[in-house]
Structure 1
Amino acid sequence: MKKRKLGHSDLYVTELGLGCMSLGTDERHAQSIIEAALEEGINYFDTADLYDFGVNEEIVGKALKNVREHVIIATKAGNRWNQDRSGWTWDPSKAYIKEAVKQSLKRLGTDYIDLYQLHGGTIDDPIDETIGAFEELVSEGVIRYYGISSIRPNVIREYVAKSHIISVMMQYSILDRRPEEVALPLLAEHGVSVVTRGSLAKGLLSDRVLDKATGKGYLDYSYEELLNVLPRLKESVGAGRSFTEVALQYNLANPAVASVVAGASSVEQIRSNATAVRGRALTDEEVALIKELTKASVYGEHR
């Protein structure tokens, strides 16, 4: 599987990464999916301390223990679980991040994290303090690099201007083109890579297409609009190839994108995603047609 450089780092991530949130807590089942990912050549695994109260990190760390030097582990921090685990609060403070990383290292069973990400963020955060925490962790050798997971243009601008982030994880798909307005051009200009999530739009852009459509629609698409646009997309650019392939290749067609992180709840799903990423790249004409058929939505908030 092809790899792309992650920002200004020396990390080269596969074009498909495994989003580990959907692995579940059955260790044997999760391990089978991770092993399938490794067999497909995937080297990038994304987890977070928030997932399953940290159990996800434990499962991922154990499954990757024997190949640790050959894989890139990304995890996240910033969400603090309540004591009764009924919910969580946002805490981007230096003190919390430096404590959270110790717990993640322990659960992952490793002495370093390749990519440590702030799991969210607002413009009202103590951003300089947060950056300071990540910079200290880099200098201490606890993490190799850091990034953020955010869709907010105002937050992304702050980190691009003030920090040494190498990546931003954000939701991006054919049906959610909001990053194209500001974030993707800005990050490409500054050499910061994008790691995408939500590329299949909750299954709407998979081969099941309208099976996943509901009366609620999707983002600013009504149900009726989905009934119109999805078949047109499949007919115009999906002929002779899977719709999953079209969806993932659309993300990879943007020069700012380094990797598409997709979840998988079965071995079959990870293999299908890997096949899609190895498929034929979209032509400039196909990308233009997709943009013509879909909405160039923008963020109404967090400008």
Structure 2
Amino acid sequence: MEKRKLGKTGLEVSALGLGCMGMSEFYGTTDDKESIRTILYALELGLDFLDTADMYGNGVNEKLIGRAIKGHRDQIILATKFGNVRDETGAFLGINGRPEYVKKACDASLRRLGVDYIDLYYQHRVDTDTPIEETVGAMSDLVKAGKIRYIGLSEVSAETLKKANKVHPIAAVQTEYSLWSRDVEDEILPACRELGIGFVCYSPLGRGFLTGQIKKFDDLAEDDFRRYSPRFQGENFQKNLQLVDRIQAIAQEKNCKASQLALAWLLAQGKDIVPIPGTKRITYLEENLGAVDIRLTEEDLKRINEVMPNGAASGERYPEDGMKKVNL
């Protein structure tokens, strides 16, 4: 497995990571046994970068990963996040970046994961009521205490990122980035490169849409959160389906799947890019890892850019309320 460095900090991870959110919530039914098998198989294949958050399953996902990695801690680069607060019922209470909360949340994640330290600790969403300098200052204290190794930020604006990086070096920014979510190319990705910060892409397969396996709205389970995403609704769905058809046509020429082409495209955007496709099944894990071996020529990249340029997708990536919490 190819390794990539996240920024100037010295943090090195596998070229593809594994997003674990769907193992516990949001994407229909869950199967803990299959999820654990998938995590362990990923480690066997050299994928060492696992991504979770305290809000996924309201703590359940961290506990699941803790069970899976027991006895394998030295093989793993473990990333988790704080900031999205939920109550015991799972209801969202808001975003919290206050210093005392940061430290409390970290201790809770360490307990659930069953580890002594977290490799990469992200602020999941920016708390607009707390100066970023205060939040990152508290995260810096966690580095000094040995509870975390590196600091990350998620869905942060270029301006906020620059303020944060003055307080403590930021290792990585995690934001949605894929063929149908390319807005980061405008300001955020250039800022990361200016500052020497790695870029971790969540939802690199457009929440599964770029696999070409979702053909109609009813393919989504009743409890699948994508049913509330503007891109999966009405005319947007049909227009986005046409975009995927074009990607599938190029993938067929390259003798690969649309999902593999989408991941290979991201990997080709720079050595500072690390996609973390989520899956809870070994079949899809193997399929995703196949993208690492795909080589795209300049002509391939040009054609892909022509059929799916920046801004091509129809609809916002989150409902209105969710969009208010990104790129802050």
Above 0.5 in TM-score?
yes
Residues 4-153 of structure 1 aligned to structure 2 (within 5 Å): 4-24=4-24, 26-150=31-155, 152-153=157-158
Unmatched segments (≥5 aa) in structure 1: none
Q: 1-side partners of 2:238 and 2:286: how far apart?
A: 32
Identity %: 33
Unmatched segments (≥5 aa) in structure 2: 25-29, 220-226, 317-322
- Tell me the matched-pair count: 301
Q: Which moved more, 1:116-125 or 1:43-52?
A: 116-125
* Matched-pair contact (CA < 8 Å) for 1:7–1:166: yes
Deviation at 1:268, TM superposition (A): 0.9
Q: 2-side partners of 1:225 and 1:207: how far apart?
A: 13
State the partner residue of 1:268.
Answer: 283
* Matched-pair contact (CA < 8 Å) for 2:54–2:62: yes
Q: 2-side partners of 1:52 and 1:223: how far apart?
A: 27
* Matched-pair contact (CA < 8 Å) for 1:192–1:256: no
1:199 aligned partner, one-letter code: P
1:12 aligned partner, one-letter code: E
Q: 2-side partners of 1:123 and 1:252: how far apart?
A: 32
State the partner residue of 2:294.
Answer: 280
Q: 1-side partners of 2:297 and 2:273: how far apart?
A: 18
Q: 1-side partners of 2:71 and 2:21: how far apart?
A: 21
* Matched-pair contact (CA < 8 Å) for 2:48–2:77: yes
Q: 2-side partners of 1:242 and 1:158: how far apart?
A: 41
* Matched-pair contact (CA < 8 Å) for 1:146–1:167: yes
User: Structure 1 residues 54, 216: CA separation in 2 closer, same or farther (over 3 Å shift)?
Assistant: closer
User: Structure 1 residues 27, 48: CA separation in 2 closer, same or farther (over 3 Å shift)?
Assistant: same
Deviation at 1:9, TM superposition (A): 2.3
User: Structure 1 residues 47, 59: CA separation in 2 closer, same or farther (over 3 Å shift)?
Assistant: same
2:43 aligned partner, one-letter code: L
Q: 2-side partners of 1:177 and 1:3: how far apart?
A: 24
Q: 2-side partners of 1:286 and 1:161: how far apart?
A: 39
State the partner residue of 1:230.
Answer: 244
User: Structure 1 residues 20, 147: CA separation in 2 closer, same or farther (over 3 Å shift)?
Assistant: same
Q: Deviation digits for residues 130-162 of structure 1, max 9, x if unmatched?
A: 011011011111111110111534433433454
Deviation at 1:262, TM superposition (A): 1.1
Q: 2-side partners of 1:224 and 1:58: how far apart?
A: 38
Q: Deviation digits for residues 244-294 of structure 1, max 9, x if unmatched?
A: 111001111112643211111211111111122x22122222222222222
Partner SS state of residue 16, structure 1: coil
Q: Deviation digits for residues 34-74 of structure 1, max 9, x if unmatched?
A: 11211221100011111112121111112112110121000
Deviation at 1:122, TM superposition (A): 4.8
User: Structure 1 residues 12, 236: CA separation in 2 closer, same or farther (over 3 Å shift)?
Assistant: same
